[in-house]
Amino acid sequence: MAAISRSESPPGTERPRWRWEALRPTPRFRRQILRGLLVVLIFIGIVAGLALLFGISIIQYTLAGFVVGTIVVVAAIGLTLIYGIRGFANFAYGELMTLGAYVALFANLLLGASLPWGVVLAFGVLAAVGVLLEVLIFSRLEGRGPVPPIVASVGVSLIIQNGIRAVVGTGQWNFAVTAIQDIVIVPGLGIHPVRGITTLVVGVSFMLSVHIMLKYTNLGKAMRATADNLELAKATGIDTKRVTYAAWAVSCAFASTAGVLLGLGGVISPTTGFDVLLLVFAAVILGGIGSPYGAMLGGLVVGLSQEMSVPLLIWLGRPDVIGLEHATAYKVAIPFIIMIGVLLLRPWGIAGRQPAFGRRAFFVERLSRALSRKTTLAKKVKRDETGEGLVAIDTGLLTNIGFYVSVSIIFAVLALGFNIQWGYTGLFNAGVAGFFLIGAYVTAIAITLPAPPIVIAGIPVYPGHLGGYHLPFAAGALLAMFASGAAAALVALPTMRLRADYLAIATLAFAEIVRIFAINLESVTGGTIGIILIPRPVEFRPPDPFLNTAAIVGIGALILLVLLFVLQFIAESPWGRVLRAIREDEEATMALGKNAFRYKLQAFALGGALMGLAGSLFAVTLAYVEPTISFAPAVTFSVWVMVIVGGSGNNRGAILGAFLIYGLEFLSVQLKDFAPAALKDTIFYIRLIIVGVLLILLILFRPTGILPEKKRVLR
Amino acid sequence: MGDDSILAARDVRKAFGGIQAVDDCTLSVSKESVTGLIGPNGAGKSTLFNIIAGLYRPDGGEIWFDGTRIDGLPPYEIVRLGLTKTWQIPHELRNLTVLENLVLAAKGNAGEHLLNLFFRPYRVRRDERRWRARAREVLALTQLEGLANEHAKDLSGGQKKLLELARALMSDPPLVLLDEPVAGVNPTLAGNLMDLIERLRRGGTTFFLIEHDMNVVMNRCDRVIVMHQGRKIAEGPPGIVKADPVVIESYLGG
């Protein structure tokens, strides 16, 4: 199965072979066939066992798993190729998939071409985009480690995603293909014969063509050699530049096809690709980073495990078992949990599982349902309480500015946390939003009054939430710091000893898992509505928006000042010096007698605790928390930009960055009223595009930020 | 393995993929000696050093340092026991100053513990002052005083080598492993460096060094150990080892 992973033929041990010899059944080949058969048999055994337990419907789920898995495989192959050759996790890959789907859609709907022609067009366009990305951005980041390209790829992803929103709009689209009746084994879970079978056929042919390319063509061999050892490949006379371009072209072309397949299975929207990106990452990690064959295995495992876990989750959801709410919604979390487990046991991959689909369907459905409910309910409750809007912000400019400052302070605290982790210690946290969320919810639960479920005319409008402990704000904030800090330590534990990009992916997955729980564990979190009526630390009666905002700003500013003082003290101490040493060279730091692992854990937990504190401030500033928008991955990306713009490794820089970048957002909100009608709806997306461009430009030309890290002159 | 040995390796093995880098290697280093480790490229010298320093875990065998078994210990604990190592390719902490690089090599600096910062501020300050003074001292020894507040990344190749040595000497350890200490250092400075090592040896420090410069090995080492294909093939005073036919064969016959 793991046929040609790079590690199997160390240089020097493989004798040169004639081309035709590869076709002869060597003992190794026979062993692989046997191993493959064994795996198939075990798999059939598992399916049969599950069928006995949960009924014959498992076959339907298995088929669905294969379809989902196939799409993930196509995407994972493309992602892993670039991972292997360029050595970084391409966070823009989701958007490249989306872009492919939109190009095909454009050909399909506007040019009137049939979908296969759309696929061909998308294939070509995306291949060109890939080469362009390498030429313009990523070739300039060579040799700067795995993180700068990740940051640049997030910039690319912001530009593409919001570019699509600005140009095409946020609507959902479908390809114009004739629908044929589903084949139904279990009612409601049909496999669409055209879409399902097309997906399988395309996926299998892609896998075969990758195999042929890697094994039998000069380009493929050159790719493997380059992925294995760039310097050696160069010295051997391989044109590694050309190989890199080819890898980008193939990778992005695969992304386009994966995007089209995603569109066939569901709808096309600006987040079509991003929604499955984590699953693709999981597949890549499960199979072993940089190994196309591992990606195939990982993708299938991901798809199958996600879909096949459904009957188990349904069973868990039964009231007589544990009565898990919205049980099947958790199928998207299972792969991440498995992935983190795999990172713990076998970080080099092999064996694991993860779901790929259904998440979007689930989100869209629940979002639209919840949004309509939420607005009515929120209004109702607010009126009951005060007769005025609780969170309604006076349009007075002063209050607006107060609001801007208070949110900037929250972002500044987040940025300080990220600065400790990344700026000082070099630990890259892609799940800032998750720790932020934990802090916000822990505080909300600790300091609110009891909130029972609300049922109006027999319709449940609010599921209630855990808590109602009505603790003072300080206690809530301390609990939040503790919870987020502990969560950070827990997530870091399995990945601390690995490369920066593993930590990035694990934390990103963690943030998504946390969010899935926040949305679905209704009796604890209030579901999509969240938790409302969070008391402010200081409340003026009758409510005065200006005074309330001023009080929040005052408390926030005080906390920020104290934080800056304390952080400056500990980060510039001998302890902080060890953190910076680890950032520069972990191995050398260990050889100087420092337990690097312990320091990294401390720094990561401290950063997590600060993010929890930020969440706590957020909860009392807005007076409500909700899981869908406030804690989306975009929050994490904003914090990165803030720290990088301000100057990583410099606490004052992190704060400055937060005020500047959030200022941009604030400005875009204020400008909306003055913007020409044509721009009104797109101004938000334009802002995010600007952030993306800024991110790329900074990482390329001024990686030290506005306030660079200072040289510490010791006396 | 006489009683005067400070470091002893017994049947140490380490393989990478299919390559046996260190193969049942047994050797010992006497207290207060300057012992050279030589051998052709790929003989396993640097790998052995990395195993001794705890950076690689050996596949088998034992390593004893001053009466303590150290194989399998993490590198930072081995350093705390008093065994430091320099890198063949300098691992300077690039964006830290030279002085910071040195102070980081301090042993038991109270300020490096988070809680001490708050609960033992006096000890933190005292330790930091003491170690900075020590760092100045070592800088003077290695003739790097003028560069104290430069970023380590701005040093020349030879200066980085000196920085490596300076860091290894900071905590005044009983045993120092030097991986090619004078490669890339200009001859005058290299001579001074070897004089310094000789002075420190008389002060009680043991040096175990890998070196390709035969002048250094022949003139400065008390004993020489020769490795070839992962094993020790000869050992003895430099003059005798030099004439050993097995050694000549391994160097010339490859």
Distance CA B226, CA B36 (A): 8
Question: Of chain A residues 566-595, which have a CB less than 8 A from chain B?
Answer: 569-570, 573-575, 577-578, 580-581, 584-585, 587-595
Q: Which of A285, A302, A319 is the last residue of a domain?
A: A302
Q: Which residues in B lie closer than 8 A to residue A715 (C-beta atoms)?
A: 132
Phi-psi region of A190 (alpha: psi -120 to 50; beta: other; left: phi over 0): beta
Neighbour-count burial for A640-669, b at 16+ CB within 10 Å, e otherwise: bbbbbbbbbbbbbbbbbbbbbbbebbbebe
The verdict on residue A171 lying in a domain is: yes
CATH, residue A183:
1.10.3470
Q: Which of A585, A648, A714, A715 is the best substitution to test chain B (most B C-beta atoms within 10 A)?
A: A714
Is residue B243 classed exposed, middle or buried when 0-12, 13-18 and 19+ CB atoms within 10 A define those classes?
A: exposed
pLDDT for the residue B249 = 85
For the stretch B111-125, pLDDT in tens is 999 999 999 999 999
Average pLDDT of the segment spanning B40-44: 88
Distance CA B175, CA B7 (A): 8
Between vectors from CA A690 to CA A684 and to CA A695, what angle results, nearest 5°? 130
| B169: amino acid identity, one letter | L
Among B24, B76, B81, which Cα is nearest to B55's?
Answer: B76
The verdict on residue A396 lying in a domain is: yes
**Residue A91 forms beta bridges with which residues?**
none
Which of B93, B97, B109 has its CB closest to that of A574? Answer: B109
Q: Poorest-confidence range of A405-409, A557-561, A669-673? A: A669-673
Sheet holding B83-85, edge to edge: B83-85, B175-179, B206-210, B34-38, B223-228, B231-236
A594–B104 C-beta distance less than 8 A = yes
| A183: amino acid identity, one letter | I
| pLDDT, greater one: A6 or B210 | B210
| Same-domain check for residues A187 and A73 | yes
Joined together, the tokens standing for residue A223 give 């790719």
Q: Does a cis peptide bond (omega within 30 degrees of 0) precede residue A542?
A: yes
pLDDT for the residue A447 = 93
Contacts 24+ apart (CB under 8 A), B122-129: B124/A573, B124/A574, B127/A574, B128/A574, B128/B103
Q: Domain of A573? A: 365-632
Task: Work out the minimum CA distance from B242 to partner chain A, whole angstroms.
Answer: 32
Joined together, the tokens standing for residue A315 give 């069973």
pLDDT for the residue A39 = 82
Distance CA A643, CA A423 (A): 8
Number of structural domains in chain A:
3
Average pLDDT of the segment spanning A352-357: 26
Kindly identify which residue of chain B lies nearest to residue A584, measuring between CA atoms. B93
Distance CA A639, CA A420 (A): 13
Is residue A19 classed exposed, middle or buried when 0-12, 13-18 and 19+ CB atoms within 10 A define those classes?
A: exposed
Average pLDDT of the segment spanning A227-249: 87
For the stretch A660-709, pLDDT in tens is 989 887 887 777 777 777 777 788 788 888 888 988 998 898 888 888 88
State the pLDDT confidence band at A209, using cuts at 50, 70 and 90: very high
Half-sphere exposure of A604 (CA within 13 A, CB side): 30
Token pair 């890199």 is at which residue? Answer: A244
The verdict on residue A5 lying in a domain is: no
Most confident of A542-546, A669-673, A693-697, B208-212: B208-212
A592–B100 C-beta distance less than 8 A = no
**Residue B10 forms beta bridges with which residues?**
B62
Among A530, A547, A541, A539, which Cα is nearest to A381's?
Answer: A530
| Same-domain check for residues A150 and A272 | yes
Is residue A44 classed exposed, middle or buried when 0-12, 13-18 and 19+ CB atoms within 10 A define those classes?
A: exposed
The verdict on residue A679 lying in a domain is: no
Q: Which residues in B lie closer than 8 A to residue A708 (C-beta atoms)?
A: none
Q: Which residues in B lie closer than 8 A to residue A596 (C-beta atoms)?
A: 76
Q: Which of A281, A302, A323 is the last residue of a domain?
A: A302
Full DSSP string of B90-142: ----TTSBHHHHHHTT-SS-GGGSHHHHHH-HHHHHHHHHHHHHHHHHHHHHT
| Same-domain check for residues A554 and A492 | yes
pTM of the model: 0.84
Full DSSP string of A146-167: SHHHHHHHHHHHHHHHHHHHHH
Among A255, A222, A284, A229, which Cα is nearest to A129's?
Answer: A255
Say if residues A465 and A484 touch (Cβ distance below 8 Å).
no
A593–B80 C-beta distance less than 8 A = yes
| Same-domain check for residues A278 and A391 | no
The verdict on residue A320 lying in a domain is: no
Dihedral angle over CA of A666, A667, A672, A678, nearest 10: -120
Distance CA A659, CA A667 (A): 12
Say if residues B176 and B84 touch (Cβ distance below 8 Å).
yes
Q: Which of A286, A302, A318 is the last residue of a domain?
A: A302
Average pLDDT of the segment spanning A213-240: 85
Which of B18, B76, B100 has its CB closest to that of A714? Answer: B100
| Same-domain check for residues A124 and A38 | no
| Same-domain check for residues A292 and A374 | no
Task: Work out the minimum CA distance from B214 to partner chain A, whole angstroms.
Answer: 28
A602–B91 C-beta distance less than 8 A = no
For the stretch A254-277, pLDDT in tens is 999 999 999 988 889 998 998 888
For the stretch A97-127, pLDDT in tens is 999 999 999 998 888 888 889 999 999 999 9
| Same-domain check for residues A122 and A40 | no
Q: Which of B73, B80, B104, B113 is the best substitution to test chain A (most A C-beta atoms within 10 A)?
A: B104
Q: How far is CA B193 from CA B135, B186, B187, in A?
A: 17, 10, 10
| Same-domain check for residues A207 and A102 | yes
Token pair 């399998």 is at which residue? Answer: B72
Domains plus CATH for chain B? Answer: 5-92+172-252 (3.40.50.300), 94-154 (no CATH)
Joined together, the tokens standing for residue B35 give 């012992």
| Same-domain check for residues A25 and A132 | no
Distance CA A64, CA A458 (A): 36
Task: Work out the minimum CA distance from A498 to partner chain B, whole angstroms.
Answer: 15
Distance CA A330, CA A676 (A): 44
Distance CA B165, CA B179 (A): 10
| Same-domain check for residues A430 and A579 | yes
| Same-domain check for residues A49 and A62 | no
Q: Which residues in A lie closer than 8 A to residue B80 (C-beta atoms)?
A: 593
Residue A368 has pLDDT above 50, yes or no: no
A570–B103 C-beta distance less than 8 A = no
Distance CA B177, CA B48 (A): 11
The verdict on residue A715 lying in a domain is: no
| Same-domain check for residues A41 and A108 | no
| pLDDT, greater one: B83 or A43 | B83
Say if residues A643 and A654 touch (Cβ distance below 8 Å).
yes
| A585: amino acid identity, one letter | D
The verdict on residue A531 lying in a domain is: yes
Kindly identify which residue of chain B lies nearest to residue A602, measuring between CA atoms. B114
**Residue A459 forms beta bridges with which residues?**
A456
Distance CA B163, CA B144 (A): 8
| A382: amino acid identity, one letter | K
Most confident of A287-291, A397-401, B153-157, B185-189: B153-157
Residue B38 has pLDDT above 70, yes or no: yes
ipTM computed for the complex: 0.93
Distance CA A74, CA A668 (A): 38
Token pair 């040093």 is at which residue? Answer: B155
B132–A714 C-beta distance less than 8 A = yes
A709–B95 C-beta distance less than 8 A = yes
The verdict on residue A342 lying in a domain is: no
Say if residues B180 and B45 touch (Cβ distance below 8 Å).
no
B114–A590 C-beta distance less than 8 A = no
**Residue A633 forms beta bridges with which residues?**
none
